[in-house]
Structure 1
Amino acid sequence: MTAEASKGRLYLVPTPLDHGCAEQAAITEVLPLGTLQVAARLTHWISENAKSTRAFLKRVDAVQPLAQPLQAQAIAELPRTVHKKGDHDPTGARPDARPLLAAALQGQDMGLISEAGMPAVADPGSSVVRAAHALGIEVVPLVGPVSILLTLAASGLNGQSFAFVGYVPQEAAARAQRLRELEAWARKSGQTQLFIETPYRNATLLQALLHELQATTQLAVCQGLTLPQVRCTSRSVAEWRRAMPAPAALALPAVYAIGR
């Protein structure tokens, strides 16, 4: 057996998008059986949050029995620096994720998991994926919901050229400047610009968007993706201004997209 063959695989395990929501979708409605079967047989995890990983595995176990009980699962959390600074910083420095992959080097399959959606996409984990490639560990992405792509598909905006830019600044002046920059590039290039915000700041962000953007700019907002109360709305800023939703209607996780 070659050294490569003796190593385990790193599976990128997507999770439902309902983390932190009062109402949850049935896990079988958002994750295919194949993904649930792989998750059920894994016993070594690299996690954004161990508590949410255990909650996810409990949901998996109700459909596909786990290979090991919850208390026997080995769950290592990503470092706090990754949560605060991300997997990449402007200097190009990355956290050393190789120690987290020790079990894979010893032949154990591992799962990389975030609190909601696909790990390493709008969530931490890319440093782990990159380390796996450097160590010769096979990386296998599993099928599941990705909020950014679901929003793009539902927006009616350009799906051939787009960029996800993460969070916009919280400070009002910096946020306004950033929104104007994104709009200028979207209008000039035709490239759709996607970004996210935490639910409790959705109302503030939408108000800023309607204040800063031009009336003819197209704005799409997708909330509660994959949930029963999902709502995707795409219309001009002028139309949004005439029908501003109540703050209570903006309490769900949301993805925003602007374009022309």
Structure 2
Amino acid sequence: MTAHDPARPEARPISLHQQILSELQGHILSGRWPPGHRIPFEHELTAQFGCSRMTVNKVLTQLAAAGLIERRRKVGSFVRQPHSQSAVLEIPEIRSEVEALGLPYRFTLLRRRRRRSTQADRAELGLDAPAPVLALTGRHDAGPRPFCLEERLIHLAAVPEAEAQDFSAEPPGAWLVHHVPWSAAEHRIRARSADAGLAATMACPPGTPCLVVERRTWSAGRPVTVVRLTYPGEAHELVARFAPSQS
């Protein structure tokens, strides 16, 4: 069975697999299931959602791949402890990621719009008042294949010179790293399935599992940019290097 909103005839029906994945993710990310909480056993979830054990196993495998749960043989699945907030994370350039694979790199700017920030923009950037923003959508390619979809907002009050850039010679992320010193960054990682629009842009089948990395950066306490990077399938892994606390 699939859920469908009759008020939105253009929306794709949501599969039972996606419903289960979204519900379990919600319990974990909201804190309703804290670190160490035991996830219901597969047979319990099968009975709860009225689905096959294969569907439940696929959901748990995705949650484990996203780093949200830990699966222990013959014991069960548990919500993972969060990584240290003092982790030292780099902001890699996507060009370097592609070239490390031995493939030619290309960036294509698909959409560009300067606008007054919407309420959603301000929520994403953490702004208290309306401000001009630059909304960019671009695609990074590795050889003949799409590699990553970039959806970015730049706070023009913090980086006014970004408005004059066409980003043909240097993609937005690389340009910001090279021209705006950042003092703090936040990463959020989640999984999603490719809808029809994303699948068409990234040349992958609808429903393809994708890794989404959302990153916000600040300079001297002022929000600079928020970006959503979507990698289809197995195109990307996130590696973090940790430093011990200096307390």
What band does the TM-score fall into relative to the shorter chain? under 0.3
Q: Which has the higher helix share?
A: 1
Comparing both chains, which one has the higher relative contact order based on Cα–Cα distances under 8 Å and sequence gaps of 6 or more?
A: 1
Q: Which has the higher strand share?
A: 2
TM-score (normalised: structure 1) = 0.25
TM-score (normalised: structure 2) = 0.26
